[in-house]
Amino acid sequence: MSNIAAIVGRPNVGKSTLFNRLIQERKAIIHESSGVTRDRHYGKSIWNGVEFSLIDTGGYVKGSDDVFEEEIRKQVIIAIEEADVIMFVVDVMTGITDLDESVAKILRKTKKPIFLLVNKVDNSALQYDANIFYKLGLPELYNISSINGSGTGDMLDELVKAFPEREEFQEESELPRFAVVGRPNAGKSSLINSLIGEDRNIVTSISGTTRDSINTHYNKFGHDFILVDTAGIRKKAKVSENIEFYSVMRAIRTIENSDVCLLMIDAQRGVEAQDLAIYNLIQKNSKGVVVLMNKWDLAEKETNTIKKIEEEIRQKLAPFNDVPILFVSALTKQRIFKALETAIEVNENRKRKIPTPELNTVMLKEIENFQPPSHKGKYIKIKFVTQLPTYSPTFAFFCNFPKYIKDSYKRYLENKLREHYNFTGVPLKLFFRNK
């Protein structure tokens, strides 16, 4: 099972800088302005052999100064409910503020591990100043510097020990796991009820009736797999930012522990930012995906409606849009069994292995037909291709100047792989290495 650590705190204390350092990428944009791409605040990190997901909650706070406190309070409450470990970041340069005290007051009530991180402690003098934060009444205090990384190693040593031990069900480990994900009230529980033929899950028109992920062993019509219903939102929040943040956090564990995700989208509302955030999570975790436009029985239709809407969806999902898109109705059971069959096909695509001799015969010919563009007079030669033994399809291209391969040429190679082999619904990873 996955572990989740959430970074909380008021603006401008260095949460995004810490996030970037822990995931070892510059994914989070270090800026206060609203409208930053939401999926950039989710990343993966590993320390001492323990892998965990990292959420920068600060990226979801939006509003003017007079509503900051209320918004941050909501983010902290969500993080407490959904994360395994909370990292509370404060700024040694400004000392304790009213906002820090209000966050600490909420955190003191939880039984989950809380790590108080005093940021921007770059010298011994500031280490003395950091002692004032003991006043917040939190047990674990660590002096760190997000900029240069000092103190983060000791903090991470203790953080990975704080994750709870989870029981794994060995008897089901070999079965493929199909997760039903999507924004609240998209019809996830209704789909599972229709598939298994009983009201296993409570279904209402209220968003977020499902509180926890529910596993269902599906063994019918010659199929054998685990269906997972993603938990929704417990309370209907007033601010759309919180709704998005909450549902994305709740979907993370389900996505990470699945093989194929059935992404439910309300056909009456179309593809929204929240759907794209979950879709990007699926892609980042290299999971198979089937897009289901649910409630199709209620949508207004004209001639060529499906074709037109499908084109619009693929444009929004680009660049990775080689995915099956089905128009279904969980209520009337329209095409729901087709959705299962498609998910099984996508899972087979995910496990597809191509022999190295065959792969080289096909791809080196395509490379010869369209050579990589030269870089500053240096000609790039790709000599060998192989598929790596990984969970999802991953390919290594060996060449003389791997760092000069342009993104446009990487897309060309991916398109040719998809043209020759069926990888529909599965993200591909391409690596370029020195020969």
Report which of 8, 149, 144, 139 is spatially closest to residue 78, judged by C-alpha positions: 8
Confirm if 104 and 117 have CB atoms less than 8 A apart: no
> Model confidence at 234, in pLDDT bands (50, 70, 90)?
very low
> Model confidence at 119, in pLDDT bands (50, 70, 90)?
very high
Say how many CA atoms lie within 13 Å of 89 toward its Cβ. Answer: 26
Report which of 5, 16, 7, 14 is spatially closest to residue 91, judged by C-alpha positions: 14
Minimum mean pLDDT among 135-144, 238-247, 408-417: which range? 238-247
pLDDT beyond 60 at 58: yes
Q: How far apart are CA 85 and CA 92, in angstroms?
A: 22
Q: How far apart are CA 371 and CA 367, in angstroms?
A: 5
Confirm if 4 and 82 have CB atoms less than 8 A apart: yes
The residues, ordered by sequence, that sit 6+ positions from 128 with a Cβ below 8 Å of its Cβ are none
CB under 8 A, 24+ apart: contacts of 155-162: 155/115, 155/117, 156/22, 156/47, 156/48, 157/47, 157/48, 158/115, 159/5, 159/47, 159/85, 159/87, 159/113, 159/115, 160/47, 160/48, 160/50, 160/52, 162/84, 162/85, 162/113, 162/115
Of the chain, the percentage scoring pLDDT greater than 90 comes to 41
pLDDT beyond 50 at 279: yes
How much is the average pLDDT of 137-149?
91
Specify the pTM. Answer: 0.73
> Model confidence at 113, in pLDDT bands (50, 70, 90)?
very high
Per-residue pLDDT tens for 352-401?
A: 999 999 999 999 999 999 999 888 888 999 999 999 999 999 999 999 99
Question: Mean pLDDT highest for which of 3-17, 22-36, 105-119?
Answer: 105-119
Q: How far apart are CA 382 and CA 171, in angstroms?
A: 44
Burial class (CB in 10 A: 0-12, 13-18, 19+), 338: middle
Burial class (CB in 10 A: 0-12, 13-18, 19+), 386: middle
pLDDT value of position 341: 92
Alpha carbon of residue 300 to chain centroid: 32
Within the chain, how many helices (H) and strands (E) appear? 12, 15
pLDDT value of position 43: 81
Q: How far apart are CA 276 and CA 202, in angstroms?
A: 26
Say how many CA atoms lie within 13 Å of 22 toward its Cβ. Answer: 38
What is residue 378's DSSP assignment? Answer: B
CA angle 77, 82, 85 (to 5 degrees): 90
Confirm if 282 and 289 have CB atoms less than 8 A apart: yes
In sign, the C-alpha dihedral spanning 192, 273, 322, 20 is negative
Of the chain, the percentage scoring pLDDT greater than 70 comes to 83
CA distances from 361 to 354, 358, 365, 384, 410 (A): 11, 5, 6, 10, 18
3-class DSSP state of 221: coil
